[in-house]
Amino acid sequence: MAEPAQATIRVIVASDFFLTREGLGCLLAGVPGIEVVGRVDSHAATLEAASRDQPDVVVVGIRAGRAASEDTMAAARLLRSDHPAVGVVVVALEGDHFALELLRQGPGGVAFLLDDRISDLDVLTGAIAQARRGQVSLDPAVVDALVRRRGGSRLDELTLRELDVLAEMAKGYRNSAIAENLSVSVKAVESHATSIFRKLGVTDQKRVDRRVAAVIAYLETFGR
């Protein structure tokens, strides 16, 4: 029996920088399975388009200075608050603190990519697909930057191997991929994950997935 066709992902591209907006829009317009339903150049237009065009994912391109970037991120946070079912993919020059701010709005449906580390279109389309599925995906360089900033926290109770596993979770990897990346068994990853949830106090999460709650706890350690 043939596998069912994947539903088309409806995407809005938002950026106040013309080349970023049109460049991303043109690239994604040629990808099978993705329909670019709008290209907008302001924060207000992004929110209006999200209500009008019912996208699955909004791709936000940030190219401006810090003040303008924070305004853009404020719009992205409002988007997640008003439209929690819509995934948000941010493509930026920098900003691990921006990634943390997005995650604080709620679990899942978030991707944060550094534009100079996007090696091919598959990286971007993969992040869009993950955001559409409600998953968290962070550029490894963002996670590494957060690790370097880490101070004393609940994470100090974790073993080095547990920190490795949690860092892989924060990058968006599933247990099977984590096992491969760390050269351990899937059963070992599951055991470490259970220990991580217990130590971070996320063993009884009724509204938030335990895995996402653990990643948020990990990222909150490195916030401002």
- State how far the Cα of 135 lies from the Cα of 128, in Å rounded to an integer: 10
CA neighbor of 116 nearest in space, from 73, 63, 77: 63
- Structure tokens given for 48: 């209006």
**In tens digits, what is the pLDDT along the chain, a chain of 224 residues?**
444 456 899 999 998 889 889 999 999 998 999 999 999 988 888 889 999 999 999 999 887 555 555 666 677 778 888 888 899 998 887 765 667 667 666 667 888 888 888 888 999 999 999 999 988 888 877 776 655 555 556 666 777 678 778 888 877 788 898 898 888 899 999 999 888 888 877 765 554 467 777 776 666 664 43
Global pTM value = 0.65
Q: Which CATH class is domain 150-220?
A: mainly alpha
Q: Which strands, in side-by-side order, build the sheet including 34-40? A: 34-40, 9-14, 57-61, 87-92, 110-114, 136-138
Q: Where are the domains of the chain?
A: 9-139, 150-220
Choices 3.10.580.10, 3.90.550.10, 3.40.50.2300, 3.40.190.10: CATH for 9-139: 3.40.50.2300
9-139 and 150-220, same CATH topology: no
